[in-house]
Amino acid sequence: MTPPFNRILVANRGEIALRIIRAAHEMGMQAVAVYSDADATAAHVRAADAAVRLGPAAPAESYLRIDAVVSAALESGAQAVHPGYGFLSERAGFARAVEDAGLVFVGPSAATISALGDKLAARRTARAVDVPHVPGTLAPAPVDRPDQLEAVLAAAEAVGFPLLVKAAAGGGGRGMRRVMAANELPAALIAGSREAAAAFGDGTVYLEREIMPARHIEVQLLGDSTGQVVALGERDCSTQRRHQKLIEEAPAPGLTETERRRLHAMAVRLGIAAGLQNAATAEFLYDRDGRFWFLEVNTRLQVEHPVTELVAGLDIVQEQFRLAGGAPLSPGALAAADRAARPTSHAIELRISAEDPARVFAPTPGRITRWVMPAGPGVRVDTAVEAGDRIPAEYDPLICKLIVHAADRPAALGRLRRALDETEIGGIQTTLPFHRAMLAQPGFLDATGLSTTWVDAHWDGPASRARAVRVASLAAGLAELGEAATGEQGGSLSLAGPDGPHHAADPANRDGSVPAWRTAGRALATDRWPG
């Protein structure tokens, strides 16, 4: 089959850049990488057929420079630009600059990004096509109009407390403020608007009811130039912290076929109304009464797209390239959409980041000294990291995505547990302990505790939990120090793990068993030990 383009440029870095380059090569296309000074020898640069320097490490001086990226595409002879996710991927101005340069933007058009990237416009579109949206305002809140304060307070009372002040542009929780009572609203509006302006260049904010408890469920959409839009299935992204996703899975546990069809149909109506061409994701909240509430549309490839790929049996990135080249939805995409409401397998993705879950997920940049990734049936690792690489402080701390695929959710959980046991990362602290702890949580294992607020309430929240994490970390570290110093059993040091009290033991027990302190430490504290 003739490839849609001869040469494409990937306007991103890290694992997503490498993943897109691989897809391009499989389709017979050449790939051009761009890089900052911090990424001069990165994996995505080495994998590309050509590479162009953008500038210094700071994103504002490299990956966020529209002029530099477009110039790199033109100078390298690329015909199309794939933005990946993050950086410039949802900026209509970037898509328009690519289009104006005579290049193809691999994603929704600038007009569609403008229409759906503005959450207020997207909410109005949802109302027009009879898709229930989260209750709230449909116009910007007048932040700089003291004379309108009374009207804003009245609108807030109509929405109901607690509510959220949300940025109309962007996402990831930036510009968002929780408001419990009317007297908190003025300060929240100002603070939220300022943060949104700094993050997205747009300080527009609006009011939205906080629906709690709820699950976060999103639908993967594809659309072609004929106006046809399909849903490939849904993902549950409820395990998140401060609106940043940590674990995603497909399909969403517990939904019936009828619920899936209803959800997919709502998402497709939104896509058709916006004239969607290429890939996008419609996001919803799912409340305890079984109601879906539209949140927003992300007009780009999602971080969690692999779980849908594995369940649907479709390469979404390759489909993006075909659609950008003007082809209609492929037979594979149409077949995947036809069976989306009746999934026959299950996939789960963990985002493993350079963050310390024992210190409110503080970033932990540094050099990786040990890197052992899992393998075997049904295991996929999307990463651009190797042993010896330095994780820079300038970029998102995501270092890899661990994805498993199996016949059903229980089998996928078992496979995930095995894969985590095989994973080793040294030199920096990562979120591995959090993920291992989640696989011991009954509410996660049986899906009854899935909620957007679970991590905030149970991991970040109770002081007793924070103390337990610190004690486990200290005990595990002391046990390692003791063993390293003596080479013998570490005495009677005790700590509480997920299966009860444990005692420190030799790094290699005579009976071949795994040292108990290591098991407990992995689950509750840290994977980076002193020494």
pLDDT in tens, 320-341: 999 999 999 999 999 999 999 9
Q: pLDDT grade, residue 497 (50/70/90)?
A: very low
Query: pLDDT tens digits for 393-452?
Result: 999 999 999 999 999 999 999 999 999 999 999 999 999 999 999 999 999 999 999 999
pLDDT value at residue 529: 33
pLDDT value at residue 146: 81
Supply the pTM of this predicted model.
Answer: 0.87
User: 516: which 2 tokens?
Assistant: 């108990």
User: 47: which 2 tokens?
Assistant: 């994998």
Q: Is the predicted pLDDT of residue 41 greater than 90, yes or no? A: yes
Query: Scanning the structure block, which residue is given the tokens 């998140």?
Result: 240
What CA–CA distance (Å, rounded) separates 3 from 22? 14
> Which of these, 283, 262, 257, 253, lies nearest to 117 by C-alpha position?
283
pLDDT value at residue 309: 98
pLDDT value at residue 135: 93
Helix, strand or coil, per DSSP, at residue 29:
coil
Query: pLDDT tens digits for 207-233?
Result: 999 999 999 999 999 999 999 999 999
Over residues 158-165, the mean pLDDT reads: 94
Q: Is the predicted pLDDT of residue 490 greater than 70, yes or no? A: no
Query: pLDDT tens digits for 246-268?
Result: 999 999 999 999 999 999 999 99
User: 454: which 2 tokens?
Assistant: 């679970």
pLDDT value at residue 81: 98
Query: pLDDT tens digits for 187-199?
Result: 999 999 999 988 8
Cβ neighbour number for residue 448 with a 10 Å cutoff: 11
Over residues 100-120, the mean pLDDT reads: 94
The residues with which 247 forms a beta bridge, in sequence order, are 239, 350
Q: pLDDT grade, residue 269 (50/70/90)?
A: very high
Query: pLDDT tens digits for 118-154?
Result: 899 999 999 999 999 999 999 999 888 888 888 899 9
Q: Is the predicted pLDDT of residue 368 greater than 50, yes or no? A: yes
Sheet of 205-209: strand order equals 177-179, 163-167, 205-209
Q: pLDDT grade, residue 158 (50/70/90)?
A: very high
Over residues 85-113, the mean pLDDT reads: 96
Q: Which CB contacts under 8 angstroms, 24+ apart, belong to 481-485?
A: 481/530, 481/531, 483/507, 484/531
The residues with which 404 forms a beta bridge, in sequence order, are 348, 379
Domains, in order of start, for the chain:
7-106 (3.40.50.20), 108-130+214-344 (3.30.470.20), 135-209 (3.30.1490.20), 345-461 (3.30.470.20), 463-524 (no CATH)
CA 249 from centroid of its chain's CA atoms: 11
Q: Is the predicted pLDDT of residue 508 greater than 70, yes or no? A: no
Q: Lowest-pLDDT range, 54-68, 118-132, 369-383, 485-499?
A: 485-499
pLDDT value at residue 479: 53
What percent of the chain shows pLDDT beyond 90? 79
User: 15: which 2 tokens?
Assistant: 């694992």
> Which of these, 281, 243, 245, lies nearest to 164 by C-alpha position?
243
Q: Is the predicted pLDDT of residue 55 greater than 70, yes or no? A: yes
